[in-house]
């Protein structure tokens, strides 16, 4: 497990975007070899998405041969609703890059058979050869795998906790009656199957989540802690997110960054000759 600590949110977002870009470029995707990328929603990854769009527009990165799999979607919310995760992904990322819409996979929260939709999503991941890099941006839990979720769970229908519903009310005019109470979500086990996992945690309000994720034991009440057992996990955070960590923990991981000369992630490009 690696912990990459940057000075602020913008630098953490840039480091994460460069890492994603480099993974895709080094993979050398093509029509018979797609790179599979798991993606999150929320406020944390927005800076990362903006940088990826920037790299695409200047010719360093293409999503033509990339397949994406999003973590979750609300149940019962129309796809074109401004707060649906379909809307989020298309408005904040997909419409700005050259991804084939058929390769951008997002769970359908309006499917007639929700369990069949979840099973089909798992099958699509399998058909794609598994996920090469799964990116997450949790608040102690991964996707909608809230406290108490099984650490070997698969994609499924999930009832949302009241804390989550209350927190989401701000996106629905403060009206609790408009907030979805159920969602489709990938499972912890689904993400654990990825060949590599990168978790974005930024801000002082997520400091306790980062502490639970890396300094305490594995616990289903903090599902993000499961990634301590993944062979290739990178936590990317800013200084504010480290406020609950022990000083020696922060010094240890910062020391590794100096040794590996990874204070600044280099950017590889798809441009000819790079």
Is there a contact between 130 and 194 (Cβ–Cβ < 8 Å)? yes
CA dihedral 24, 266, 242, 142 (to 10 degrees): 0
Helix axes 9-27, 46-57, angle to 10 degrees: 50
Residues 6 or more apart in contact with residue 232 via CB below 8 angstroms? 195, 196, 197
Q: Which residues are catalytic?
A: 72, 139, 141, 146
Count the residues in the chain: 274
Is there a contact between 128 and 31 (Cβ–Cβ < 8 Å)? no
Nearest Cα neighbor of 70 from 186, 236, 167 is 186
Residues 6 or more apart in contact with residue 114 via CB below 8 angstroms? 75, 157, 184
Nearest Cα neighbor of 196 from 143, 152, 133 is 133
First to last CA, the chain: 29
Q: What are phi and psi of 101, to 5 degrees?
A: -50, -30
Question: If DSSP codes are grouped into helix, strand and coil, which group holds residue 140?
Answer: coil
């Amino acid at each position: 497990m690696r912990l990459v600590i940057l000075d602020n949110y913008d630098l953490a977002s840039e480091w994460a975007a460069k890492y994603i870009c480099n993974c895709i470029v080094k993979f050398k995707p093509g029509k018979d070899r797609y790179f599979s990328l798991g993606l999150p929603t929320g406020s944390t990854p927005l800076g990362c998405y903006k940088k990826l769009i920037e790299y695409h527009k200047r010719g360093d990165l293409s999503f033509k041969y990339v397949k994406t799999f999003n973590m979750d979607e609300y149940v019962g919310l129309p796809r074109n609703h401004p707060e649906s995760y379909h809307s989020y992904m298309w408005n904040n990322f997909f419409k700005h890059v050259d991804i084939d819409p058929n390769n951008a996979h997002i769970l359908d929260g309006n499917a007639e058979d929700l369990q069949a939709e979840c099973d089909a999503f798992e099958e699509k991941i399998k058909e794609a050869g598994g996920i090469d890099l799964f990116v997450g941006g949790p608040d102690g839990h991964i996707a909608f795998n809230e406290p108490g979720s099984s650490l070997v769970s698969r994609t499924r229908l999930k009832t949302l906790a009241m804390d989550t519903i209350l927190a989401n009310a701000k996106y629905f005019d403060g009206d609790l009656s408009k907030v979805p109470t159920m969602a489709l979500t990938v499972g912890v086990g689904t993400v654990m199957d990825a060949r590599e996992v990168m978790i974005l945690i930024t801000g002082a309000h997520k400091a306790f989540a980062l502490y639970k994720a890396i300094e305490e034991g594995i616990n289903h009440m903090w599902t993000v802690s499961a990634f301590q057992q993944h062979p290739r996990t990178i936590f990317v955070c800013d200084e504010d997110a480290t406020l609950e960590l022990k000083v020696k923990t922060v010094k240890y991981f910062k020391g590794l960054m100096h040794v590996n000369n990874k204070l600044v992630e280099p950017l590889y490009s798809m441009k000819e000759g790079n």
